[in-house]
Structure 1
Amino acid sequence: MATAGHRRAIEDIESRPDPRRQRRLTERLVKVVGVLLVAAICASIVGAPGFMSRTEYQSLQVFGVLLFAAYSLFVTAHSRSTHVDLERAYSAHLEELSQRLRTMAYRDSLTGLYNHRYFYEQLAHEVERSIRYGQPLAVLLMDMNNFKEINDTFGHIVGDKCLSLVGQVISRQIRGSDVGARYGGDEFVVILPNTGIDEALATAEKLSEAVASAAALHPGEEAVKLGISVGVASCPDDSRSAGELLHVADQRLYDVKASRKIGRGRADVA
């Protein structure tokens, strides 16, 4: 099902002018001008002998022929120029549509992060690269704290705003080489290339603190307090498989959530 963001993008694409239609209109206009010009020349030549001398009439004929020849040259040059311009415009138009469709295919419209599909593709690629070149790789799997209570208390509209806010925080905090994605529901993931476990844990702590300080939504008189729990796994220390690496991060995330529920710990990162 298309989201509101995707529907807006599709409507914007459909509203763009079609270069082929513009080309047809231009060609019709040139043809109309040509027909009117030929009609005017023929009418002048046919009606002129009654009130012109032979020399003037021959001059008019020559002028008509030259004018028509000039028009023919103009049409030829215009057609070539118009064809090139329209082809360029059409190619640019297709490239823009292609880019928008790629964005729709790989981006989550609510948070602006990459989606689940893109994350899996990049994780497999980064794990393979990590093993091939002997470079460390880390994965952060995050889950929002008490998100069900937020939805139940404030409604799903506020819940969506909270998800969007967390997505913005993640985008601002990670590096350009990192890949942030919405994993599903209230879960997020970040791929950290060339990152060891200690640096990954520090990044997880930074993200947790940034989300906690970004709780700035105020429906009515109440502020919504946000928080995330984070599970961290590294390659090749924890696993050399993309699926297993994600499983380790998920298990550590589960341990953090379980510890918070039974009150044995307050750490948000493991």
Structure 2
Amino acid sequence: MINLFANLLVGMGAGILILALRPVRRLIAQLSPGPLRRHWYVLATMILFFTVGYLGYLAFQWHAHLAFHDLFAPIVFFLGACFVLLVGYLSLETAIDARRMAALEQESITDPLMGIYNRRYLDRRLAHEEHRAQRYGLPLSILMIDIDHFKEVNDTYGHPVGDVILRGLGELITDTVRSTDIVARYGGEEIMVIAPSTPIGTAARLADRLRQAVENASLATHVVEGNKKPLHITISIGVAHLGQNHHDTRGLVQSADEAMYRAKREGRNRVVIDG
């Protein structure tokens, strides 16, 4: 009876180890290629190795459990397998929860239409960059961007086309600026680009590169006599920097906004630098 119980514990342990490969496999599938994924592959290989060890122990010790103290090793084998299974499922659930929380965090700071950061994240990040610039004496510039005649686009082609343009503009600006720049929807069709550690001259060149990229791009199409035609837009950009004239982001944003409206008054499709 003791021998049967001991063999049953070891056999169940081997089965549990095989079950433990399921959450490990699901976890590996969620990981991007890299060192962490390779480490989990190593763990899966070790589980297989221990499974073979359980079966080997069972084969060689099939009739060796004669007294109660002989149950010690089978019990340890069984509990060890349970531990591996529990760790596997806890790791999988932790990874799923972490991914879900990351997705929720991303949704909370992303504008659903344009796919760029929203105003809440913009305000928080702008305050952070202001503090960083003032603490370390770094330059800080911002670009205020607005679509020229966007109301006419909506009135002429409809809001669905306008939404396509907004999404395309968000993607184009994100792809054009540097990885260190922050692109966010300020309000309506206005977009702000925060350019940390960037002097006004560099920011002005970045703004003109954006202006040209938008002017040359086709962000949507419209139908003319049954044929699809590319629809082009232009943007006006105001550039301002944190410096002698502006000691906080409130004045910085106001100056960039005023420079942007000046660009519109002066003919649109241009860049105006504050001051």
**TM-score, normalising length: structure 1:** 0.69
The equivalent residue for 1:234 is 241
How many Å separate the matches in 1 of 2:245 and 2:213? Answer: 27
Q: Which has the higher strand share?
A: 2
Matches within 5 A, 1:1-270: 76-221=79-224, 222-260=229-267, 268-270=270-272
CA RMSD, aligned part only?
2.5
Cα drift, residue 73 of structure 1? 6.6
Q: How many residues align?
A: 205
Distance 2:245 2:147 in 1: 24
Asked which structure has the greater CA Rg, the reply is 1
Is the partner of 1:218 in helix, strand or coil? strand
Q: What's the TM-score, normalizing by structure 2? A: 0.68
Letter in 2 for 1:253: M
Give the C-alpha shift of residue 164 in structure 1.
0.8
In structure 2, the residue corresponding to 1:223 is in which secondary structure? strand
User: Following TM superposition, by how much is the alpha carbon of 1:111 offset from its aligned partner in structure 2, in angstroms?
Assistant: 2.1
Q: Flag structure 2 segments of 5+ consecutive residues without an equivalent.
A: 1-22, 24-64
SS, match of residue 221 in structure 2: coil
CA 1:91–1:209: 2 relative to 1, 3 Å: same
C-alpha contact (below 8 Å) 2:165/2:219 kept by paired residues? no
Q: What whole-Å deviation, never above 9, does each CA across 1:22-77 have from its counterpart, x for those lacking one?
A: xxxxxxxxxxxxxxxxxxxxxxxxxxxxxxxxxxxxxxxx99x9xx9999777534
Deviations 1:184-217 (A, max 9, x none): 2111000111111111111111101101111242
Q: Is the 8 A contact 1:113 1:180 kept in 2?
A: yes
- 1:91 CA drift (Å): 0.8
Query: How many Å separate the matches in 1 of 2:154 and 2:245?
Result: 35
Q: For the Cα contact (< 8 Å) 2:169–2:219, is it kept in 1?
A: no
4+ residue segments displaced more than 6 Å: 68-74
Deviation at residue 259 of structure 1 after TM alignment: 2.6
1:108 and 1:198 map into 2 onto residues whose CA distance is 29
Distance across 1 between alignment mates of 2:258 and 2:76:
76
Give, in angstroms, the shift of residue 163 of structure 1.
0.4
SS in 2 for 1:175: coil
Do 1:238 and 1:248's aligned partners in 2 also have CA atoms closer than 8 Å?
Answer: no
**Secondary structure of 1:126's aligned partner:** helix
Shift of 1:218: 1.8
Going from structure 1 to structure 2, the CA distance change for 1:71 and 1:201 (only over 3 Å counts) comes to: same
Render the CA deviation track for 1:85-114: whole Å, top value 9, x for unaligned.
111111111110111011001112222211
> What are the Cα deviations for residues 141-161 of structure 1, in whole angstroms up to 9, with x where unaligned?
100111111111111111011
In the TM superposition, residue 133 of structure 1 has moved relative to its aligned partner by 1.2
Deviation at 1:237, TM superposition (A): 3.4
Name the CA distance, whole Å, in 1 between partners of 2:235 and 2:156: 18
